[in-house]
Structure 1
Amino acid sequence: MYLEEHAITTPSSDSGPQWVTLSPHYLAATPPSDHRTYLHAFAEVSGWKAHESERMLTVASPCDRVVIRHDQQAQQTGEHLTISARSGLDGKDRWRAVLSGVVPVEYLLHLTLQVHHVLDVDPDYIVYGLDGGPGPEPIFLDIDEDSWALEAGEDLFMLGSADGIVTVANRRDGSTLQLDADPDVSWHIGASGRSLGMKALWRITFTEDTPPAIVNATLDKVLDDSPAVRAMPTSLPPALHPHVRVQQLPTPSAPTASASLRPTPPSTTPGGPSR
């Protein structure tokens, strides 16, 4: 098992689960198999419909407008998780979010809870991104200038983490620049392991028509400097162990489990690109 082979552990305790913080949170890598485990839990708590084959797990909203697919076969080679929205069961995708690699599970959690919440508030907004939806319009970013470097050009808006690991890129409206193999991608968020002697760690992309409330929720989580909080043991690729700061939390500080599907609203402080 991945968890057993690559776990960070703390001394055992009779007082209950041990919790740690991992920072920077964008190196709190989560294997794709754990993304699948999370989606099972999300379906159970949300009441969404789950269908699983040996290769594919599909989780769909009760109205069939939003579909999440996890491809077991693509875990090692590429885009293993896709979230898409459509007008109905037989409709074409209006937008897509695609996850590749060891995306921290906190990003997936925040993204799926935001999708669930916005769908509950305004089903038309989640599909069409119409003005007046529950999300801020346009997209705004709250940026810590000590942690992120900004570069704005005619075709592209970019943010880079101070350590050079994470890049956020947005193709400006009207630009023909292609960010990804998918020409419809307008947002690319990724962590490169080159400076750590590794391959690319993870990537999240959004296509052009993704509602701003959905993009905002993910950007807000990625740009937040707060560490990831995990129960022990937690799994990390061995090559990342020297680069992740691990701090054990006192038991009273451990987060309380909740079945709530209402995420914390993303920050809307002006200061970033608008679309």
Structure 2
Amino acid sequence: MSILNADLHCHSVVSDGTLTPEELAARAASNGVELWSLTDHDEIGGQHRAAAAARAQGLRYLTGTEISVTFAGETVHIVGLGFDPADEGMRQGLEQTRGGRGGRAREIAAGLATAGIPGTYEGALKYVGNPALISRTHFARYLVETGVCKDTAEVFRRYLTEGKPGYVPHRWAALKDAVRWIREAGGVAVIAHPARYKFTANEEYALFTEFKAHGGRAVEVVTGSHTVAEYARYADTAREFGLAASRGSDFHSPGESHTDLGQLPFLPAELTPVWDLLADRIQ
């Protein structure tokens, strides 16, 4: 089962995607995906729908989520795969992590108002399937709709990254806690899209070292935001730290995502795929 068109990273309307779990399952199946996971941000409320939709499409399925953590002053994402979605520790941990999003969203709106763009909190809410998970992406969609920017990338560049008027940092979960929630729920923790973080070489080494020490077992090698050179770089990192490799598009929306579900190259053959660690958890 090692060589699979697996897509183990994507988002639905339950967090900041634009498609329902059912629409994602159908899209994954039509694109030739063989093993799928829905990994909404800090949320597992869509897991039962996703698993049922996968079964209806003839897809194999792994439970998933993407947990936001703070490490060395950066927001890092840890994907959890194959866990028990009924686990109480996981449920409570994610609930705590989600808790700060509402206040942060109001601060973002206040910052945008001082920049001459009023009403963005109410506007962003129109795009939110789950109000507890309002995020910068929802603000970006509203600013595109109202013509402030031509696309969401421009919104982030001009308004929502560090030093811009709508940027508000958030204190997320600790790395050790996120990995522990996943591990204790029977799943495998994965460092998501590592090339996206603005770490020095020493900080990145510390991230991988601590992640493994806490029980983390895999890294996304092939993902939508990585270049071909970064596939090779993080394949080397996986080997160096003895980690399994994961593969996922990080798909959010047909109109926004660079990479569609199931459209990535296969993992390098010499790596251990993360799904080999989770064979007994695949539905």
TM-score bracket relative to the smaller structure: under 0.3
Bigger strand fraction: 1
TM-score (norm 1): 0.25
Q: Which has the higher helix share?
A: 2
| TM-score of the superposed pair, with normalisation by structure 2 | 0.24
Q: Which is bigger in relative contact order (C-alpha 8 A, separation at least 6)? A: 1
